[in-house]
Amino acid sequence: MIDSESQVRIEVTDGASIPRKKDKGLFTAWRMSFFGAIAILAYLCLTKPDPYVKILKFLPDGIAVTFKVTIASILLALVIGLITGIGRISKNRFINTLASTYVEVIRGIPLLVQLFYIYYALGRFLQVPDIVAAVISMSFCYGAYMGEVFRAGIESIDKGQTEASRSLGFNRYQTLVYVILPQAWRTILPPVGNEFIALLKDTSLVSILAVADMLRRGREFASESFMYFETYTVIALIYLIITLILSKLVGMMEEKLNYHVGR
């Protein structure tokens, strides 16, 4: 029998592993992966500028679209997640059930199916531009995950904070906005950053909707040149470099938050 107080919570996400100095193995692996990917990409471009430099010149607009979809989706997902998270802890049974059902349904359907559904199935009734359909699908999918992040973050705040604010005359809305959420934000910021990285990787799926993201542009180049190995090698390296940079930023942000909290 395991003492409940001694249990360790294991968290596995679709995002990148966050390099932390205390985890020397992972920290070293991050440096090797990051500098190794840059070195390989530089070597390929220097030794074989044709086709690798051509591929790099073909991708910038696709990279821009990838970031546009990612940023728009994560911002909308944050709004949806906040509303869902509050709904999940609501004492109103209807709101709680509605938010919980949304989380269960969305998390139970693959993102690829959601992309097809928004773009093709609903397209019978309402024509949705490809990039808008991509953002809507990504936002609603990740909004469900964000909802659980917000719920966990809000519930992690000691109930004494709520009681203290109510004793000062704050109503429930003021308590949530001015007391609970600012403290919860410190807790949820790292997982939100991780979800941002996971979402960026999942944007590769939007290429099936003819969105001209990085993968779509790579497919166009490969179909014209028949250089599939070279093209997808470059795309894989670029995705790796971007996600490693973002994971490092999330790690730095987490360390900074822990430093301020520990002071």
Which of 209, 227, 181, 172 has its CA nearest to residue 69?
209
Are 215 and 204 in contact, with CB atoms under 8 Å apart? yes
HSE-CB for 29 with a 13 A CA cutoff: 12
Task: Say how many C-beta atoms besides its own lie within 10 A of residue 28's C-beta.
Answer: 11
Closest CA to 190 of 6, 27, 11, 8: 11
Listed residue (146, 247, 245, 243) closest to 202, CA to CA:
243
pLDDT at residue 7, rounded to an integer = 40
The predicted pLDDT at position 52 comes to: 93
b (16+ CB within 10 A) / e for 137-153: bbbbbbbbbbbbbbbbb
Residue closest to 242 by CA, chosen among 14, 2, 4, 16: 16
The helix-helix angle for 60-88 and 181-202 (nearest 10°) equals 140
Residue recorded with tokens 């249990």:
7
Distance CA(19)–CA(28), nearest Å, equals 8
Tokens of 77: 């997902």
Low-confidence stretches of the chain (pLDDT beneath 70): 1-24, 27, 258-263
Instruction: Return the number of other C-beta atoms located less than 10 Å from residue 131's C-beta.
Output: 18
Spatial separation of the C-alpha atoms in residues 221 and 213, rounded to whole Å: 12
The two structure tokens encoding residue 107? 């998390």
Question: Which of 3.40.50.1580, 3.40.50.720, 3.50.50.60, 1.10.3720.10 would CATH assign to domain 45-262?
Answer: 1.10.3720.10
How far apart are the C-alpha atoms of 211 and 132, rounded to whole Å? 10
Give residue-wise pLDDT tens across range 12-56.
455 556 666 666 677 688 889 999 999 999 999 999 998 999 999
pLDDT at 6: 38
Give the pLDDT score at 169.
Answer: 76
The reported pLDDT for the residue numbered 28 is 81
Interatomic CA distance for residues 142 and 139, integer angstroms = 5
Q: What is the pTM of this model?
A: 0.83
93 token code pair: 């049974």
